[in-house]
Amino acid sequence: MCVAPPTHLLKQTFLLTSALPLPCLSGCSCFYSMDHEANTMNCSFNNMTTLPDILLPRTKLLMMSGNHLGHLDSVPENFPEIKELYLNRSNIKKISDGVLKILLGKTKHLHLSNNNMRQISSLLQEENFHTRLWLSENPYDCNCDMMWMRDWLQNASNVMNKENITCSTGRWKGKVFLCAHAHIPNRMTV
């Protein structure tokens, strides 16, 4: 005769497990995170060149770090709201304005550090969004086209690691973006 374990033992076992595995896309791992009370998809370091077309329902954390995304010109149709999106170390060179607008509207935390972005859209300063951003460790061109970024960063409370946003070209090469331009109020020379 089979006897079910006592209820208190089932609860203890459930609490000891912080993630429950779920079926997933090939090369990715999916699980339900009890800490976040949501589904997580980890497609990091998977040689992916686009965002996944299909996400698990109720996915709130999508990890795409270490892929080869290059130019982000589109997102899957009906891209869901996601709490955290990790795109760091994914060889991103450019994000189109349309994609950036969608990502800013659908994420609470957007990780874009350690990519190959030389510029980022001034859409960041124009949109009313509350997404926390990680933009550091990119080889930004510090030229007149990026002057807006210095001014925007000074007041942007939602940008993390501002001290690691540096210039990669011109006379400001290697300097912190904010400090390199602090004494030039209205123009930037390279």
For 162-173, how does the pLDDT look when each residue is reduced to its tens digit (9 = 90+)?
889 988 987 788
For 26-37, how does the pLDDT look when each residue is reduced to its tens digit (9 = 90+)?
889 999 888 778
pLDDT, mean of residues 56-69:
92
pLDDT of residue 73: 93
What CATH number should be reported for the domain holding residue 72?
Answer: 3.80.10.10
pLDDT, mean of residues 49-75:
91
Domain assignment of residue 176, yes or no: no
For 107-118, how does the pLDDT look when each residue is reduced to its tens digit (9 = 90+)?
999 999 999 999
Domain assignment of residue 129, yes or no: yes
Asked if 30 and 56 count as a contact pair (C-beta separation under 8 A), the reply is yes
Paired tokens of 163? 């001290």
The full length of the chain comes to 190
| Spatial CA neighbour of 36 closest among 60, 57, 16, 13 | 60
How many structural domains does the chain have? 1
Q: Identify the domain containing residue 118 by its residue range.
A: 17-138
The type of residue at 129 is F
Average pLDDT, the chain: 82
124-128: list long-range contacts, CB under 8 Å, 24+ apart: 124/100, 124/149, 124/152, 124/156, 125/149, 125/151, 125/152, 127/101
Neighbours of 1 (CB within 10 A): 2
Phi/psi for 133 (5° steps) reads -120, 140
pLDDT, mean of residues 62-82:
91
- pTM of this structure: 0.82
Domain assignment of residue 34, yes or no: yes
- Label residue 149 exposed, middle or buried (CB < 10 Å: 0-12, 13-18, 19+): buried
d(CA 180, CA 164): 12
pLDDT of residue 132: 95
Domain assignment of residue 143, yes or no: no
**Regarding predicted confidence, which is higher, 186 or 68?**
68
